[in-house]
Amino acid sequence: MNAKWFGIVALIAVATLLFNLSSCGYNQHLVSLTIAPAAGAQFGGVDPALFVDFTATGTYEHPPHTKDMTTLVTWKSDTPQVAQVSTGGVVTPNTNCGAANVTATFYDSPNLVASNSAHIVVDGPAADGCTPAGPQPILTVDITGAGTGTVSDSTGVLNCIATCSATFAIGSTVTLNAAPNAGSTFASWSGCNQSTGPTCEVFMQNNVTVTATFN
């Protein structure tokens, strides 16, 4: 093979290698997301000066690679009145005692990758802003109006066709859903911390009564 053809073959080989490397990098995608400390955190009172820094690490493939994604992910607390989390992964107690779970997600098209869950506990003496140990709060659901229907919660504890009640952990958030029977319509809620249509959210810090009206 003369020098000219050898040079052409070498250029083709280099171009192919660069194309493969470029394609590999372009197709790199996130396969898992891990937050730490995985064991979560425990706070001894409702004190905004207390905090724990969480980190998020992403694992990629094509090629294998790990990356600090703490400031890139979307952080979430499932009970924000107990524990709140900043966009940078800083977890602090909020206003109530109780338990919460912190997670992180990242959208890597076309997949939404979710992390493990870190358990957060806020507890302590009354002097630190926590409710002393004792009976847990009771949620009572009243059903009123000319119509009929069912009120249930997302955990399956409540399934009310008339007045009913149940005990829930202090600091938890209970989501209720109202379902009218045939021939009836859902009218309104009262007693919720927040509501949207047939859905009602209740923050369980004390005994609460919620009323669902069907027409």
Give residue-wise pLDDT tens across range 79-96.
Answer: 898 899 999 999 999 888
Give residue-wise pLDDT tens across range 107-132.
Answer: 998 889 999 999 998 887 666 656 55
Q: Please state the rounded mean pLDDT for residues 167-180.
A: 87
Spans of all domains in the chain: 29-125, 138-214
Q: Please state the rounded mean pLDDT for residues 163-175.
A: 86
Average pLDDT over all residues of the chain: 85
Of 6-15, 37-46, 174-183, least confident by mean pLDDT is 6-15
Q: What is the CATH number of domain 29-125?
A: 2.60.40.10
Is-contact 137 171, C-beta < 8 A?
A: no
Asked if residue 37 has a cis previous peptide bond (ω within 30° of 0), the answer is yes
Backbone angles phi, psi at 150, to 5 degrees: -125, 140
